[in-house]
Amino acid sequence: MIAVGSDHGGLELKDAIQAALAARGLDVDDYGTDNGDSVDYPDFAEKVAAAVSRGDVELGILVCGTGIGMSIVANKFPGVRAALATDEFMAQMAKEHNNANVLVLGGRVLAKDLAVKMVNVWLDSTYEAGRHQRRLDKISRLEKDVRAGKF
Ligand code: RB5
């Protein structure tokens, strides 16, 4: 199961991505938005990131105008590794090195065809673990320390 969410700036691209995910036979949970009215990206990032953080879904995709706002919000959630990518290489690295469980894209930055290719590259790539796991473990430790008020 994969969750998708966008604001008005990412709606068109979210629709294109959903079609591509359906074409791959994936079950998609759409957390909105569902029309072009101006909305606040934190509300939609929250829904998708919370679902990933709780383990309700394995992966999420968030789209706003630039992807920046969605990334900032999603990375507040424990266990969420949200990666803002702007090309296929970044989408590949987001999985291979960062094991990103949320891919963030900019609807006003990327052509639809490229964005769909990036989603497919991210889904088809495999986390390499090894030395990268040591780094992810450090991120998990930091999350705990921040929550414990260590800083
Ligand atoms: C909305 O206009 C825009 O600020 C939003 O989509 C996003 O780009 C924020 O980071």
Q: What's this model's pTM, rounded to 2 decimal places?
A: 0.98
- Pairing label, strands 59-64, 2-6: parallel
Task: Name the residue of 68, 73, 75, 109 whose CB sits within 8 Å of the most ligand 1 atoms, as the mutation to test its pocket.
Answer: 68
Whole-number pLDDT of residue 99: 98
> Which structure tokens are listed for 130?
């090894």
132 is an active site residue: no
Whole-number pLDDT of residue 67: 98
Who contacts 4 (Cβ-Cβ below 8 Å, separation ≥6)? Answer: 14, 17, 18, 21, 28, 29, 30, 31, 48, 60, 61, 62, 63
By alpha-carbon position, which residue is closest to atom 10 of ligand 1? 69
Whole-number pLDDT of residue 57: 98
Of the residues 39, 64, 82, 85, only one is catalytic, namely 64
Whole-number pLDDT of residue 120: 98
64 is an active site residue: yes
Whole-number pLDDT of residue 31: 98
Q: Is 127 helix (H, G, I), strand (E, B) or coil?
A: coil
User: Which of the four pLDDT bands, split at 50, 70 and 90, describes residue 4?
Assistant: very high
Residue range 81-90: mean pLDDT, rounded: 99
The domains of the chain are located at 2-147
> Which structure tokens are listed for 90?
């970044």
Q: Please tell me the distance between residue 91's alpha carbon and the centre of ligand 1 in angstroms.
A: 21
- With contact defined as beta carbons under 8 Å apart, do 84 and 45 qualify? no
Best CATH choice for the domain 2-147 from the list 3.30.70.2740, 3.40.1400.10, 3.30.559.10, 1.10.760.10: 3.40.1400.10
Residues whose beta carbon lies within 6 Å of some atom of ligand 1: 7, 9, 41, 64-66, 68-69
The sign of the dihedral angle between the CA atoms of 94, 100, 101, 102 is negative
Residue range 26-55: mean pLDDT, rounded: 98
Residue range 6-24: mean pLDDT, rounded: 98
By alpha-carbon position, which residue is closest to atom 4 of ligand 1? 65
Whole-number pLDDT of residue 95: 98
